[in-house]
Structure 1
């Protein structure tokens, strides 16, 4: 997995949310949470597994909406942040966080109603293996996002500390088919990449987001989008 040492550092976990979801990054957080909710809804009383849960921003959000959720991550430091987030939300006894390997999930077949991973597949060295495991333990929905190769993402990808794997639509469709899944829906966003939004104030991000959606709302715009959301079913 790319950047494991970087990702698991205590300092990275402590600053992760503040660096990525302040300023214009708040818009990214809102959009990603909406994508997860749209893919998994309704979540109340559903058994959900989040792969690479990080600091638990999706885990806690879904628990607040009544999901029976497990958050799995390889980083103890990230899991500690997630547990603290759950504690502050009054959900410490509701959400389960556990350390584990996404390539060997410690659950039986069809154990969850839905399995999802956000900000994960751009780091995956063996994406087919990870997706097959997600499909194995889900009895309904598998949801994940990818970064696209035909986008502005390529312009700053080299500067990221852990690198980033970029995907074409054809590659993702092959992965989905290879995991025995069927594509239910795909959505594409962020012609202006994440790095741009994180650098501008929140008040500036919103007008650019409107322009972003206008550009991305057609076939050409889809090809320029830097992020894709994939909802598949077993």
Structure 2
């Protein structure tokens, strides 16, 4: 049996997985400059989203994320093999913009000083951070007067921008999409915290049984219901456009 630490083995497996995915994507010729730019703003956005959960939990008395080494901007500890590697690759191969998520930051709600209220705040701080990042990007673009666009039916008509301004534009767009996605009231997404807060006690046993299959349920909703994500993302995209006008 190897004496190499488990984390080192996991990192080696992850590196091989990422390498294989990159080889497949490059061989299919689906990597373009815009794709790389999209990934460049997506990865830090999902990391900041996850770190914010652990940072607020630490402020409220739970150091679980800190002890797990998750309060870091290093992307490796946050990588979820499916959400961070496989799903974006599938989307790239099908011609869709890459999208995904990071490994959830561990939080022990029972260690919070006020589990009921602070647990809800810890859940919602991730989308709040994404919205804050989007607003910041919009303010920079808007008041620097580097962007003008038309908003119509949730779609954006974007003029040619400099590389920096295009990165800011995509950074804001990615963050409003992340906020909208994570506010879907389905476990394990952050919006489920609101659902749990409002759920009558009589429904909790059934909900907890259903929660065990949360990833399967989420996958089914996203991929088997045509137009579901469009109905979630279109208002967010429209809001992003409104922030810039």
Q: Identify, as 1 or 2, the structure richer in strand.
A: 1
TM-score, normalization: structure 1? 0.27
Q: Identify, as 1 or 2, the structure richer in helix.
A: 2
